[in-house]
A = this chain, B = another copy of it.
Amino acid sequence: MRIDLNSDVGESFGAWTMGHDELLLPAITSANIACGFHAGDPGVMRRTVRLARAHGVAVGAHPGFPDLAGFGRREIRCSRQEVEDLVLYQVGALAAVAHAEGVRLRHVKAHGALYNMACRDEALADAIARATAAIDRSLVLFGLPGSALLQAGRAQGLRVAAEGFADRAYNEDGSLVSRAVAGSVIHDETTVVARTVQMARHGTVATAAGSIVPLQIDTVCVHGDTPGSARLAAAIRQALEAEGVVVEALGRGPKL
């Protein structure tokens, strides 16, 4: 039993800070670093790569729509080619920053609206997968289980990682309950920890309706934007390890 714990980091921008990366990174195994389009800037990217390296955390790219004002959360109707190009640009920029710091990128996880759209839309999924493969075929592509994104990644010969969300409610079909629905985000820490352990150990999740459904995942996303998120991430990791689950990054390891 193995699981990766990932989190979105490096989301500060210029004079504005966001998140508590220094506290969060010790608890996780994969860092999704913003690439300057929805958050992050060249200086923040470098400092975040250094911080991840210092904690032995795998560094990945977190490309998003070009929308600082909307933090990449607003859907933008881009063409397939536009998405391929903007992902290539952002991942390439972070790859150079990482290279300058002696680090190789391990994974790519699209951000916000781009992630959500690409999980559903084959053309956008294909665009992200192609851009990722063009940079480095050993990169792991993250996406929702059963999504167009994972399918496109496999079609490009990439290793893919199915992602679960520690604090989100699930529908009967294993999809996420929309954030527009009350109860879609779970705030009770004990519950969040227990659900994560269940995902990692049993490959199942309790749905909003109360049934248990399969959810095969390789990585769990823990959120880092609230003050308590670092403590929660640490609690999740501790519980996983106490249950015998190996918490480690994906990609490039001997067993992977």
Residue numbers of A with Cβ under 8 A of B are 12-18, 36, 39, 41-43, 45-46, 66-71, 73-78, 81-82, 85-86, 88-97, 99-100, 113, 131, 134-135
Identify the closest chain B residue to A77 (Cβ): B75
User: Does B71 contact A85, Cβ atoms closer than 8 Å?
Assistant: no
A91 to chain B, nearest CB (A): 6
User: Does A42 contact B89, Cβ atoms closer than 8 Å?
Assistant: yes
- Given contacts A46-B85, A67-B76, A92-B93, are A99 and B16 in contact (CB under 8 A)? no
Instruction: Report how far A227 CA is from B36 CA in the complex, Å.
Output: 28
Q: How many chain copies does the complex carry?
A: 4
Max chain B Cβ within 10 angstroms of own Cβ: one of A43, A82, A96: A96
Instruction: Report how far A58 CA is from B43 CA in the complex, Å.
Output: 29
A129 to chain B, nearest CB (A): 13
**Which one, B43, B95, B131, contacts A82 given CB within 8 A?**
B43
Instruction: Report how far A57 CA is from B96 CA in the complex, Å.
Output: 23
Instruction: Report how far A12 CA is from B13 CA in the complex, Å.
Output: 11
The residues of B that contact A39 with a CB separation of less than 8 Å are 15
The residues of B that contact A36 with a CB separation of less than 8 Å are 89
Instruction: Report how far A12 CA is from B18 CA in the complex, Å.
Output: 12
A191 to chain B, nearest CB (A): 26
A141 to chain B, nearest CB (A): 16
**Can you give 27 A-B contacts (C-beta < 8 A)?**
A13-B68, A13-B69, A14-B69, A14-B70, A14-B71, A15-B18, A15-B73, A41-B69, A42-B85, A42-B86, A42-B89, A43-B81, A66-B69, A68-B68, A70-B76, A70-B82, A76-B77, A77-B113, A85-B97, A88-B97, A90-B93, A91-B96, A93-B93, A93-B96, A96-B135, A99-B135, A100-B134
Instruction: Report how far A68 CA is from B68 CA in the complex, Å.
Output: 10
A69 to chain B, nearest CB (A): 5
User: Does A96 contact B95, Cβ atoms closer than 8 Å?
Assistant: yes
Max chain B Cβ within 10 angstroms of own Cβ: one of A16, A78, A91: A16
Instruction: Report how far A146 CA is from B43 CA in the complex, Å.
Output: 30
A162 to chain B, nearest CB (A): 26
Q: Which 6 A-B pairs have the closest CB atoms?
A: A92-B96, A16-B16, A42-B85, A100-B134, A15-B71, A42-B89
Max chain B Cβ within 10 angstroms of own Cβ: one of A68, A71, A92, A100: A92
**Which one, B67, B86, B135, contacts A100 given CB within 8 A?**
B135
Identify the closest chain B residue to A18 (Cβ): B16
